[in-house]
Structure 1
Amino acid sequence: MKHTPTIRAELDRYIQQEGLSIAQFGQLAGMNRGIVSAIVTGNKSMSVNQLDLITEAMGLPEGHFYDLFIENYIIDHPPNMRRIEPFLFRCAELDKLDAIRRVVGAIMDNLLYSPKLFEIAEELLSQGRHSAALLLYEGVAEAEKYQHSERLAVCQYRIFTIQIGDDQSRNLKAAILFEPYVERLDEIDQLDALKDLANVYRSLRKWDKVGEMARQMRGKAEIQYSFVHNEKRKDGTPEKKTRGPLFGYIAYADLLCASVCEARGDYPQALQYTYAYADLDWVKEDDDDTKHWINLFSQWAEGNAYVYKLLSGEINLLNEYVEYIAVTSAANENEKLSKLLNVIIAANQFSIDVDDILKRFETIIATFSQQPSSDDMYTQQVIPDYIAWFGYELGYYYLHRGKYIDGFKYLMNAMVKSHIINNETYFINCMGLFVRFQAHAVPETKAEYFNLIERVWENNVQKNGAFSHRG
């Protein structure tokens, strides 16, 4: 039988080795002599705070005894949340994720501990300790996987939002795994969840799913909006608050539906949805926040109406649209990107010379690779997609006009960004465009291209494994 060492034995050995008395070590550690004596004799367990003091006094690195702490005081012991909770927070501070994983595995056989672990996960999430929180959410979700509880659904929602990142293939998997849990969420949380899912699917260009999420969000938001403003309801606000104003989910659903129509080339129908979210006279609230959001939707509608008309062939509106960009784009960097992307798409679609426009906005264009950080799902997912798309369209524009240096520069940037976000469609499109114009690439550009292709191949082999050769 394997003998598990104890922190008590390690402490006793150290005290004897250093020739210290209990009192001297207690003074060194800043602890009461009686407490140290009780720990050494095994008559008292210890807290993680006491363990940290002992570890520091022994000259050992922080967290040195955490694995032993789990062995001595958590595994094969009745779970004591007064000991476990501070230990989990301390592990999160030190990024001791394996220790958290072991604790969760040791106590989650009993569903009675789910509420407390969920509460700890929520606090860790609010502190920005996402990796630690994720382990707790996953533990609670695994323990409750056969329960049709709202807490299970919230855990799955948190897991989804934490896991969303640069890798679009992982994002797709996370969205698919989370989607079935939306209906189990609180009715208010469902709106934010559907909006987040829609934005992830939008970045993945899964337009059927974007439309589906938008329609569900609109229907649920209309019900909630009617409920809030029902005269029979004494309280004028729902028990829980959405991240944005309630009417905004209805309007945003129309905006999403317009983007679906745009992707399918149905610009007249996209215009109809745009006119719908521009007309918000039905909104009953009149506070400053409501006016702010109504103004935003009005601005988005104005810009998108230009775009859908442009892409329908009304190229005479291009200069008017550019002046609109110049006047309105100063407030929001993200809006500049999407608006100038529309200019390049129209230029490529209808073979329009927009060199003067690109020159006018060259300072803005040069900053597009610097993606802003944000917890907002749109900024996290849609903007990186736009950056890659913009690079491809700009590369296409310059290459087709014989401006090969600029063309290859933006094309290579688009390839790198497409690889980072793991967007295979964009990456393949960039490869095809490079191959078409490779005769015009200088040796350095060709070397850069093939080096990138080799790195992508090596990363893919490491991630997915190489195909074995069979005789």
Structure 2
Amino acid sequence: MTNEPMIRSVIEQELERGGYSLSSFASRSGINRGTLSAILNGNPPKPIAISQLDLITEALEYPKGYYYPLYVDECVDSDQPNRRRLKAFLLRCAEVGQIECIQEVLNRIVENLNYIPMIFDIGEELYEKGLREESRLFYNVVIESEKYQHSERLAISHYRIFRLSLGDDTEANLIAATRFELYRTRLPEDFQLDGLLHLINVYLTLQKYEQAEIYTDELRRLAKSVYKNYERAYYQSKDFQFRVERHLIVYYGQGYLLKGVALQFQRRFEEVPKYIAGYADLSWFVGLDELGKQMVEKYKLFAKLNIYNLKVLSGDQSVITEYIELVKDHPYEILPSLRAIVESANMYGYFVDDLLEEFDVGTKLYDQFGNYYNTEVSRNRYLRLNYHLSVYYFRKEDHLEGIKKTLYTLKYAISLSSKDYFMKIVPLFERYRSYATDEQLKEYETLLKGVLKDAEMDYGINSRC
């Protein structure tokens, strides 16, 4: 409480320096003169609302949030701070990027567990407003302080942190997935659908296909259960609350589609057709709106593409021409389709030079078509394609292009922190290193030294010891 007058003293000094009377500054700021007097001269002084502080700051021609560090004491002014003022201040801090002020306030109130519901609500409000990184602070407090381990808000906080943690670093994605998966069944069903879909994508990207397969089974069971509830509500003309990012048909369809993908990567090709049939025609969904009808058509297309994909990976070269003709009408499918064709060529010993000449398989391919799907999936597909191209060029004894492509792929795998592909590419390079130029060998050694340096930093190793 000893610091309470500080913000008022600073404001009074500014008014004096600017030659303002209460009346003139009230007119300039838009704050009622009586209210301004009560704030500065009242005994006890009237609390300052955050909206009033913003008006004062603007009138004094300072940037937004300039006085917020001084306002912390005003806001947390007792053992039981005013919740409305506290919430308004925290939201405003997030909006103007005053993260240190948020942290200071949270540190002061976190020991009182009665504030946890409010902290969670602020996190949710920020998340919905798109202030995702700012919301992370609030979810972390809930995770660290929530005493009820089976509470819904704790599960949702873990889910939000999981989503916020997904990015380019595949190892970081794995850590985030591992932390979240223990809480997935404690989420409301609609949040579970989203959580499972993202878990599956993480494990597919990490080539943990058996784990991904487990979650595809879970996703299908849950999607069917939710659909039954939706169908019942539809026929009874009742509202159906569904708080997710996608149409329900997407979760149903992806449960089948991604199961097929997990099986395909395990080379269990004979099992895949059953799951393609599961999403080939979803027109039986009741109450389809325009978006739902579009999704039905999209899954029909996916089924056609994946049938071709399966035939190619099973060694059927005769369908490649018609497969590519179909893909040309849907450019965002070029990347995954080329990957499958090049992989098949390596598996069955044939060549597709004409096809590779037709498409630019450089970075333009990723930049142009990679952003239709989520970033992690697209980058992983691009990494896979480049790895299979490296193998392809060595197989046709184009060692110059093989070394060049292998170095490019190694660099890309390192940028994504993909240990799995790093462990594939290094032996591939070593096998053909005699074909590398001195400059390429130097680049290779530089890349490996960078990885070693990062590993030493991670484990606290002094390389000079």
Q: Distance in 1 between matches of 2:283 and 2:76?
A: 60
Aligned to 1:403: 398
Does 290-299 or 51-60 show the bigger shift?
51-60
Q: Residue type matched to 2:179 in 1?
A: L
Q: Distance in 2 between matches of 1:97 and 1:434?
A: 46
C-alpha spacing 1:214/1:6, structure 2 compared with 1 (3 Å): same
State the secondary structure of the residue aligned to 2:338.
helix
Cα RMSD (Å) of the superposition?
3.1
Gaps of 5+ in 1: none
Does 258-267 or 140-149 show the bigger shift?
140-149
State the secondary structure of the residue aligned to 1:104.
helix
Q: Residue type matched to 1:388 in 2?
A: L
Output one character per residue of 1:283-333: Cα deviation in whole Å (capped at 9) or x when no partner: 45565444432322222222222222222233x33xx23432333343352
Aligned to 2:10: 10
Q: Residue type matched to 1:398 in 2?
A: Y
Q: Is the 8 A contact 1:108 1:140 kept in 2?
A: no
Aligned to 2:67: 65
Aligned to 1:178: 180
Kindly state the Cα deviation for residue 106 of structure 1 after the two structures are TM-superposed.
2.5
Aligned to 1:267: 269
Aligned to 1:362: 360
Kindly state the Cα deviation for residue 32 of structure 1 after the two structures are TM-superposed.
4.0
Counterpart check, 1:344 vs 2:342: yes
Q: Distance in 2 between matches of 1:17 and 1:286?
A: 66
What pairs up with 1:255-294 in 2 under 5 angstroms? 255-278=257-280, 280=282, 283-284=285-286, 288-294=290-296
Q: Is the 8 A contact 2:249 2:295 kept in 1?
A: no
Gaps of 5+ in 2: none
Kindly state the Cα deviation for residue 427 of structure 1 after the two structures are TM-superposed.
1.8
Kindly state the Cα deviation for residue 161 of structure 1 after the two structures are TM-superposed.
0.9
C-alpha spacing 1:459/1:22, structure 2 compared with 1 (3 Å): farther
Q: Is the 8 A contact 1:268 1:308 kept in 2?
A: no
Q: Is the 8 A contact 2:205 2:377 kept in 1?
A: yes
Q: Is the 8 A contact 1:387 1:417 kept in 2?
A: no
C-alpha spacing 1:96/1:458, structure 2 compared with 1 (3 Å): farther
Aligned pair partner of 2:195 in 193, 196, 202: 193
Q: Is the 8 A contact 1:192 1:243 kept in 2?
A: yes
Output one character per residue of 1:208-263: Cα deviation in whole Å (capped at 9) or x when no partner: 22111111111122223233334996236633255444344333222222122212
Counterpart check, 1:166 vs 2:168: yes
TM-score by length of 2: 0.88
Aligned to 2:449: 454
Kindly state the Cα deviation for residue 134 of structure 1 after the two structures are TM-superposed.
1.2
State the secondary structure of the residue aligned to 1:362.
coil
Q: Residue type matched to 1:321 in 2?
A: I
State the secondary structure of the residue aligned to 2:66.
coil
Kindly state the Cα deviation for residue 129 of structure 1 after the two structures are TM-superposed.
1.2
Kindly state the Cα deviation for residue 272 of structure 1 after the two structures are TM-superposed.
2.9
Does 83-92 or 194-203 show the bigger shift?
83-92
C-alpha spacing 1:137/1:175, structure 2 compared with 1 (3 Å): same
Counterpart check, 1:386 vs 2:376: no
Q: Is the 8 A contact 2:334 2:369 kept in 1?
A: no
Q: Distance in 1 between matches of 2:32 and 2:286?
A: 65
C-alpha spacing 1:56/1:462, structure 2 compared with 1 (3 Å): farther
Does 28-37 or 255-264 show the bigger shift?
28-37
Q: Residue type matched to 2:344 in 1?
A: A
Aligned to 1:325: 324
Aligned to 1:105: 107
State the secondary structure of the residue aligned to 2:148.
coil
Q: Distance in 2 between matches of 1:123 and 1:430?
A: 45
Q: Distance in 2 between matches of 1:123 and 1:36?
A: 31
Aligned pair partner of 2:351 in 350, 353, 356: 353
Kindly state the Cα deviation for residue 77 of structure 1 after the two structures are TM-superposed.
4.6
Q: Distance in 2 between matches of 1:141 and 1:285?
A: 39
State the secondary structure of the residue aligned to 1:448.
helix
Output one character per residue of 1:419-460: Cα deviation in whole Å (capped at 9) or x when no partner: 222111112222222222222223333333333333333334
Q: Is the 8 A contact 2:75 2:89 kept in 1?
A: no
Output one character per residue of 1:163-222: Cα deviation in whole Å (capped at 9) or x when no partner: 111111111111111112222222232222211211122112221221111111111222
Q: Distance in 1 between matches of 2:455 and 2:172?
A: 14
Aligned to 1:80: 82
State the secondary structure of the residue aligned to 2:374.
helix
Matched-pair identity in %:
32
TM-score by length of 1: 0.87
Kindly state the Cα deviation for residue 25 of structure 1 after the two structures are TM-superposed.
4.5
What pairs up with 1:190-229 in 2 under 5 angstroms? 190-229=192-231
Q: Residue type matched to 1:88 in 2?
A: L
State the secondary structure of the residue aligned to 2:135.
helix
Q: Distance in 2 between matches of 1:50 and 1:231?
A: 48
Q: Is the 8 A contact 1:124 1:132 kept in 2?
A: yes
Kindly state the Cα deviation for residue 157 of structure 1 after the two structures are TM-superposed.
1.4
Q: Is the 8 A contact 1:203 1:385 kept in 2?
A: yes
Q: Distance in 2 between matches of 1:241 and 1:41?
A: 49
State the secondary structure of the residue aligned to 1:79.
coil
Q: Residue type matched to 1:390 in 2?
A: L
Q: Residue type matched to 1:90 in 2?
A: R
Q: Is the 8 A contact 1:228 1:236 kept in 2?
A: no
Q: Residue type matched to 2:268 in 1?
A: D
Q: Residue type matched to 1:324 in 2?
A: Y
Q: Residue type matched to 1:63 in 2?
A: G
C-alpha spacing 1:10/1:290, structure 2 compared with 1 (3 Å): closer
C-alpha spacing 1:125/1:373, structure 2 compared with 1 (3 Å): farther
Q: Is the 8 A contact 2:335 2:369 kept in 1?
A: no
State the secondary structure of the residue aligned to 2:351.
coil
Does 351-360 or 113-122 show the bigger shift?
113-122
C-alpha spacing 1:115/1:245, structure 2 compared with 1 (3 Å): same
Residues matched between the structures, number: 463
Q: Distance in 2 between matches of 1:24 and 1:450?
A: 70
State the secondary structure of the residue aligned to 1:367.
helix
